[in-house]
């Protein structure tokens, strides 16, 4: 983004190195961008809250919100207005200061992630050379907010939720971090944009199908991200049937909505990160340029704009697809128990993720010696993935046939 | 809990009252968690005093009585027919059975012979109600485990049953359908076809339900081997109905102490076999309910095929009078197990009425079973016993 601002200043006829207002321009634009990013995060979270209720309604053969606006789309605005105008209640017994400040920690930890998350080929707030590391680091702020809210509420249910959440998020950060190290190993950079550039537009060029270990790493990351985002089957910190509402039991009004903003916004974060690291990000296929590392940058004129828009569309599509998968999981699976959650992390995911990193390091040496193996492995894995999808589809058809289900996509509008 | 207070008193013992136990728990350094009376998964207004050490629960003491409405005392104050709507409130999830128990008790007091068609109407209504009650049980249980979707699925099917029962008696929850000596209304036009349509549809839904939740890996991991009740323990604690059969004891009042037309019907009694864990675990109790729904479908098919023409009401006096001091005790198989009515006649109203329900006895076993489980398991245990708060307290 600094390069963009520098070129802007040059366009105005000044040298950014010497012009006195350069720093001020930087600050002004950073303020503008952060405003845009926070709004993007909040609006996405709001829309997801509507989408999730519609998806849940569809899956549970009921209607879901459909009164406010077309298909109930303005429901999230109505909810936001309601929550904003509600009384901000703080329990008498609560630790006032911590209770009030806890939601901000969550919000900050969540919004900061967007700084390094790419949206398209050029659209990224800061192309950091430590992007992945930065994302893992700022995500940890959320757990601070959760513990604060749980402790300061002075409610036993909140405390239960907070301690569960702390144990869960801290545990699952290890397999998630190790799984994210695999694309970093393969691409040789921590920059999110760099990792996307190192992949290609086609499935066999993505890191998920690079080798068996990175295939496993994708699922390890996805499971861990579910756990870090407190999503089913890892929604123990806010287990409604066990802990009333978990760490946010005592909250109301705007502060309560922050927690849910973060939860729903996190779906975008985890899906966008999965897309970036394993699924080729914004890479656009069928580009007229053939031999360049960054093909979109080599285009000119109207093609640049088209390719840029296409890259946004592709990235958004992949991300929303995973957001849908996350919702789908939530409305299908039961919740696991707290000891099973810990077992799964420390007994299975952590060892497997470490082994995967070692395997990938070894594999890189192997394909360096025998480059043909690289392509054979990619094609085999992609074919395997395709076969799995076909089998999944056949199984779904079989289920529909067995239970006499009928398709009726228009019924709940 | 501060260190200074830790271990300054003896552990709570079994013979203490709940209040004393609460005081003691504070001295042990453990956390006292009041689960209920307003908690999403206590299935009504019940309180559990939970002594926990972190997530591990040392003990959970059920505290009942929040929903006590003196229903047994009311029986002494109103006429025999007038008490029928009150019996609906004993167990509002399965109101038809409470109706039937009361009707059968008074019929035994008066030695009334109920017409055959009325018996068939009763069994059809009861078995429909059994399915709807079990649907609520398995739906809420899966929701307590965290799966939200099976619950609307179960309630969707329950709506069909509610429609059927509404057509039969005009009410969707508290039916007041049975009368002493028969039933209030005959089956409506082409009712049998409607029931058969539902049964055909529902048997397919059961397959889908099993795929969705019963054999779900996470669900099985949560419930298999959890809080197993051995057959001996189940009998010792007087568990009845699906809870008893979940422990592998093949006892069903419909077969062992036959009443109504059940001896003429063909149906199996599913018992827990420890298919995925040990016999009598929470999963077995869940599975028994799912299997019983299928058996109820079988019973419904037979009833629709066999139902004779005729009267639906025996000749009864306008005002029922029972000689004083005559006793009757009937047992029926409610959705929550053996439901017993013990009535002593006393002229125009009963001298004494005692209702024995399955949920109340099931509460007793929670304390011994809860030791060493986790807090999340307590929710599963309560749900697997399928307790309904008004049936506990009456």
Domain-wise residue ranges, chain A: 2-283+298-403
* Among B176, B185, B169, B127, residue whose Cα is nearest residue B311: B185
pLDDT confidence of residue A405: 67
The answer to whether the Cα torsion of A139, A140, A144, A149 is positive or negative is: positive
* B residues 228-267 lying closer than 8 A (beta carbon) to A: none
Nearest to B146 among A56, A160, A233 (CB): A233
The answer to whether the Cα torsion of A348, A354, A360, A366 is positive or negative is: negative
Residue A52 CA, distance from chain mean position: 15
pLDDT confidence of residue A359: 93
CB contact under 8 A, B222 and A338: no
CB contact under 8 A, A239 and B376: yes
Distance from CA of B152 to the nearest CA of A (A): 6
For residues B86 and B75, is the Cβ–Cβ distance under 8 A?
Answer: yes
Question: Please, which pLDDT band fits residue A15 given cuts at 50, 70 and 90?
Answer: confident
Helix (H) or strand (E) holding B49: strand B47-53
* Among A82, A78, A98, residue whose Cα is nearest residue A90: A98
pLDDT confidence of residue B288: 92
CB contact under 8 A, B145 and A335: yes
Give me the domains of chain B, ranges plus CATH numbers. Answer: 71-356 (1.10.645.10)
CA A303/CA A287 separation, integer angstroms: 9
Unique residue bearing structure tokens 């690291």: A277
CA B37/CA A11 separation, integer angstroms: 69
- Tell me whether strands B182-183 and B327-334 are parallel, antiparallel or unpaired: unpaired
For residues B147 and B216, is the Cβ–Cβ distance under 8 A?
Answer: yes
Residue A5 pLDDT greater than 80, yes or no? no
Distance from CA of B113 to the nearest CA of A (A): 43
Distance from CA of A338 to the nearest CA of B (A): 8
CB contact under 8 A, A403 and B144: no
CB contact under 8 A, B208 and A405: yes
Distance from CA of B90 to the nearest CA of A (A): 25
Q: Write the CB contacts of B183 (distance below 8 Å, at least 6 apart in sequence).
A: B118, B121, B122, B125, B177, B312, B313
Residue A409 pLDDT greater than 70, yes or no? no
Q: Write the CB contacts of B370 (distance below 8 Å, at least 6 apart in sequence).
A: B50, B57, B59, B60, B227, B378, B381
* DSSP-derived 3-state class of residue B340: strand
Output the CA–CA distances (angstroms, integers) from residue A85 to A46, A75, A105, A253, in the order listed: 16, 15, 22, 7
For residues A151 and A143, is the Cβ–Cβ distance under 8 A?
Answer: no
Distance from CA of A228 to the nearest CA of B (A): 17
Residue A29 pLDDT greater than 90, yes or no? no
Nearest to B146 among A60, A334, A399 (CB): A334
CB contact under 8 A, B208 and A399: yes
Query: Can you list the residues of chain B whose pLDDT is less than 50?
Result: 1-7
pLDDT confidence of residue A391: 94
pLDDT confidence of residue B4: 41
Name chain A contacts of B142, Cβ cutoff 8 Å. 334
Name chain B contacts of A399, Cβ cutoff 8 Å. 208, 211
Name chain A contacts of B160, Cβ cutoff 8 Å. none
CB contact under 8 A, A404 and B148: no
Conformation bin of residue B68: beta by default, left when phi > 0, alpha when psi is -120 to 50: beta
Nearest to B148 among A236, A331, A402 (CB): A331
Q: How many CB atoms lie within 10 A of CB B197?
A: 12
Which token pair is B365?
A: 């076993």
Nearest to A334 among B31, B218, B375 (CB): B218
Which token pair is B52?
A: 């926990």
For residues A190 and A130, is the Cβ–Cβ distance under 8 A?
Answer: yes
CB contact under 8 A, A60 and B149: yes
Residues paired with B49 in a beta bridge: B34, B61
Nearest to A339 among B142, B216, B374 (CB): B374
Say yes or no: B155 contacts chain A, CB-CB below 8 A: no
Name chain A contacts of B212, Cβ cutoff 8 Å. 332
Question: Please, which pLDDT band fits residue A219 given cuts at 50, 70 and 90?
Answer: very high
pLDDT confidence of residue A408: 64
For residues A403 and B204, is the Cβ–Cβ distance under 8 A?
Answer: yes
CB contact under 8 A, A240 and B152: no
CA B71/CA B67 separation, integer angstroms: 11
For residues A128 and A154, is the Cβ–Cβ distance under 8 A?
Answer: no
* Among B357, B344, B331, residue whose Cα is nearest residue B104: B331
Interface contacts A/B by beta carbons within 8 Å: 92
Nearest to B204 among A61, A334, A404 (CB): A404
CB contact under 8 A, B145 and A241: yes
Nearest to A59 among B40, B149, B377 (CB): B149
Say yes or no: B202 contacts chain A, CB-CB below 8 A: no
Among B26, B147, B198, pick the best mutation site for testing chain A contact (most A Cβ within 10 A). B147
Name chain A contacts of B54, Cβ cutoff 8 Å. 163
CB contact under 8 A, B33 and A402: no
* B residues 341-360 lying closer than 8 A (beta carbon) to A: none
Nearest to B156 among A61, A242, A336 (CB): A61
Distance from CA of A160 to the nearest CA of B (A): 8
Output the CA–CA distances (angstroms, integers) from residue B18 to B9, B14, B61, B274, B385, in the order listed: 16, 10, 7, 34, 22
Among B47, B48, B53, B145, pick the best mutation site for testing chain A contact (most A Cβ within 10 A). B145
**What would the pLDDT profile of B230-250 be if each residue is shown by its tens digit?**
889 888 888 888 999 988 888
Measured torsion, CA atoms of residues A35, A37, A38, A44, in degrees rounded to the nearest 10 = 140
Q: Residue B211 carries which DSSP code?
A: I
Distance from CA of A313 to the nearest CA of B (A): 32
As for the ipTM of the complex, it is 0.81
* Among B223, B208, B219, B206, residue whose Cα is nearest residue B270: B206
Nearest to A336 among B211, B213, B222 (CB): B222
* DSSP-derived 3-state class of residue A239: coil
Nearest CA in chain B to A163: B54
CB contact under 8 A, B376 and A61: no
**What would the pLDDT profile of A375-386 be if each residue is shown by its tens digit?**
898 899 999 999
């Amino acid at each position: 983004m600094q390069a963009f601002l520098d070129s802007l200043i040059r366009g105005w006829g000044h040298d950014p190195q010497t012009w006195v207002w350069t720093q001020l321009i930087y600050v002004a634009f950073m303020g503008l961008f952060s405003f845009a990013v926070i709004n993007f995060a909040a609006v996405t979270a709001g829309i997801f809250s509507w989408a999730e209720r519609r998806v849940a309604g569809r899956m549970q053969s009921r209607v879901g919100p459909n009164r406010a606006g077309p298909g109930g789309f303005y429901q999230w605005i109505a909810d936001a207005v309601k929550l904003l105008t509600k009384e901000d209640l703080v329990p008498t017994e609560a630790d006032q200061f911590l209770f009030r400040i806890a939601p901000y920690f969550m919000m900050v930890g969540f919004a900061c992630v967007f700084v390094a998350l790419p949206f398209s080929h050029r659209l990224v707030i800061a192309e950091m050379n430590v992007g992945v590391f930065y994302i893992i680091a700022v995500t940890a702020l959320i757990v601070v907010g959760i513990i604060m809210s749980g402790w300061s509420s002075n409610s036993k249910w909140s405390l239960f939720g907070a301690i569960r959440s702390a144990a869960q998020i801290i545990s699952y950060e290890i397999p998630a971090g190790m799984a994210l190290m695999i694309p970093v190993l393969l691409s040789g950079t921590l920059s999110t944009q760099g990792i996307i550039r190192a992949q290609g537009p086609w499935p066999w060029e993505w890191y998920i199908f690079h080798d068996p270990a990175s295939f496993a790493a994708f699922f390890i990351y996805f499971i861990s991200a579910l756990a870090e985002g407190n999503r089913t089957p890892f929604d123990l910190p806010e287990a409604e049937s066990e802990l009333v509402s978990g760490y946010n039991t005592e909250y109301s009004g705007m502060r309560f909505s922050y927690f849910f903003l973060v939860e729903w916004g996190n779906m975008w974060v985890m899906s966008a990160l999965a897309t970036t690291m394993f699924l080729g990000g914004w890479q656009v296929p069928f580009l007229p340029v053939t031999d360049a590392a960054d093909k979109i940058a080599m285009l000119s004129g109207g093609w640049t704009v088209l390719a840029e828009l296409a890259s946004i569309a592709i990235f958004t599509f992949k991300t929303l697809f995973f957001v849908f998968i996350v919702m789908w999981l939530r409305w299908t699976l039961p919740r696991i128990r707290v000891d099973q959650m810990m077992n799964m992390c420390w007994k299975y995911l952590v060892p497997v993720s470490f082994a995967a990193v070692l395997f990938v390091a070894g594999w890189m040496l192997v394909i360096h010696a025998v480059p043909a193996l690289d392509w054979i492995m990619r094609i085999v894995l992609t074919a395997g993935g395709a076969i799995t999808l076909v089998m999944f589809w056949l199984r779904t058809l079989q289920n529909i046939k067995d239970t006499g289900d009928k398709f009726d996509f228009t019924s709940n509008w | 809990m501060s260190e200074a207070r830790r271990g300054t008193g003896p552990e709570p013992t079994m013979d203490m009252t709940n209040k004393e136990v609460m005081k003691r728990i504070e001295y042990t350094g453990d956390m006292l968690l009041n689960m209920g009376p307003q908690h999403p998964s206590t299935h009504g207004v019940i309180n559990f005093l939970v002594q926990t050490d972190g997530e591990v629960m040392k003990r959970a003491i059920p505290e009942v009585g929040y929903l006590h409405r003196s229903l047994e005392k009311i029986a002494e104050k109103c006429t025999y027919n007038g008490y029928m709507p009150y019996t609906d409130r004993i167990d509002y999830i399965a109101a038809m059975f409470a109706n039937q128990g009361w009707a059968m008790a008074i019929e035994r007091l008066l030695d009334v012979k109920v017409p055959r068609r009325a018996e068939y109407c009763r069994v059809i209504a009861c078995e429909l109600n059994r399915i709807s009650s079990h649907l609520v049980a398995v739906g809420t249980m899966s929701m307590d485990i965290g799966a939200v979707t099976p619950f609307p699925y179960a309630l969707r099917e329950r709506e069909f049953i509610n429609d059927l029962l509404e057509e039969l008696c005009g009410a969707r929850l508290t039916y007041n359908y049975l009368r002493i000596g028969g039933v209030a209304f005959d089956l409506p036009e082409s009712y049998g076809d409607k029931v058969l349509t539902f049964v055909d549809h529902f048997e397919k839904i059961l397959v889908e339900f099993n795929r969705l939740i019963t054999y779900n890996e996470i669900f099985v991991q949560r419930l298999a081997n959890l809080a197993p009740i051995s057959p001996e323990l189940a009998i010792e604690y007087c568990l009845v109905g699906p809870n008893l059969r979940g422990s592998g004891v093949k006892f069903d009042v419909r077969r062992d102490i036959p009443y109504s037309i059940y001896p003429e019907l063909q149906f199996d009694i599913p018992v827990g076999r420890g298919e995925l864990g040990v016999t009598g675990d929470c999963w077995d109790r869940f599975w028994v309910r799912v299997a019983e729904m299928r058996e109820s479908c079988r019973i419904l098919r037979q009833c629709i095929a066999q139902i004779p023409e005729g009267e639906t009401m025996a000749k009864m006096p306008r005002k029922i009078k029972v000689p004083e001091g005559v006793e009757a005790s009937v047992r029926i198989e409610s959705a929550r197990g053996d439901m017993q009515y013990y009535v002593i006649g006393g002229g125009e109203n009963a001298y004494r009425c005692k209702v024995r329900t399955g949920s109340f006895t099931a509460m007793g076993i929670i304390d011994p079973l809860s030791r060493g489980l986790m807090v999340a398991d307590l929710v599963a245990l309560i749900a697997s016993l399928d307790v309904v708060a008004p049936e506990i307290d009456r």
